Amino acid sequence: MTSTLSRPEAVEPAPVAPVSAPALRPGRRITIRIPTAVQRRTAAVVLPLIPIVAFVGLWQLLTAHNVVAWLRFNRMPAPMRVVESLGARISSGGYYDDLLASLQRILLGFGLAAAVGIALGILVGRSPTARMTLRPFIEIVRPIPAIALVPLTILLFPSSEQGIVFITFFAAFFPVVVSTIHATESLPKVWEEAAKTMGAGRISLLLHVILPGALPGIFAGLSVAMGVAWICVVSAEMISGQFGIGYYTWQSYGLLDYPGVVVGMISIGALGLITAWAVERVGRRINHWLPRASR
């Protein structure tokens, strides 16, 4: 019995219909995409204004209706009165003298605290002998409020200017030195061992490994120190100063010039914002190798 295999017949593919381009509708809208850089810049300008505008609006609403509840807004000056007082102060030369005096005290005290605090922090963080010798003394003195030293500075220093600068230095010193100690101690040991393997000496190890590696933590302490320094310098000016933005604010309160008090508070906040931004900007420039520094 023989079987025959039949050859399968070729199946022709079905014809493919040509694809035509979709016809554009006459009323179709053209969407314009805003560049990402423009969106980021717009957000950087608009978003900070939202809480400020909301705060001023709530302030105006409460003072306009003389709300007296848990807080008494019937004695609070309205925003427009503060703006008028600010305009009057800006047009006078004494206002800029007060700003310049406070700014000079901050820069001098903060600069000394940064230099001494970073040097001493690296020493304590690197040397076991310095750690055992100096760390207990630092922890004993650190809880003392800087503003509590005002009576002693009046007795010790020949002028109130030197005493205010010392209080500013004392307030900014401890955040810097403590952050430097922790940043130095937290460096990976493998960095130091690798540098020593390649022949690095003590000075080269300090300048090219330890200090660059600790700088992110150091600048975090500098940022905190700047805010603490402003708090203490304004408080010292209120107690023993003869000029400065803190002295102006306290004098305005003594003269029952409540819009002037708010002007002083706004001026302090503006100066604090500018100096904190400057510290952060310098930190980003120096720590440009960090992944987050380019944001």
- For domain 80-287, give the CATH number: 1.10.3720.10
CA distance 250 to 237: 9
pLDDT of residue 187: 85
The sign of the dihedral angle between the CA atoms of 250, 252, 257, 263 is: negative
pLDDT of residue 72: 85
At residue 200, what is the residue type? Answer: A
Query: pLDDT of 77-135, one tens digit each?
Result: 999 999 999 998 888 878 899 999 999 999 999 999 999 999 999 999 888 999 999 99
Burial of 97 (0-12, 13-18, 19+ CB in 10 A): middle
pLDDT of residue 5: 46
Q: What is the pTM of this model?
A: 0.78
Nearest to 105 by CA among 221, 251, 224, 229: 229
Report residues of the chain scoring pLDDT below 50: 1-8, 10, 24
pLDDT of residue 151: 86
**Which positions ≥6 away from 147 have C-beta within 8 Å?**
167, 232, 235, 236, 239
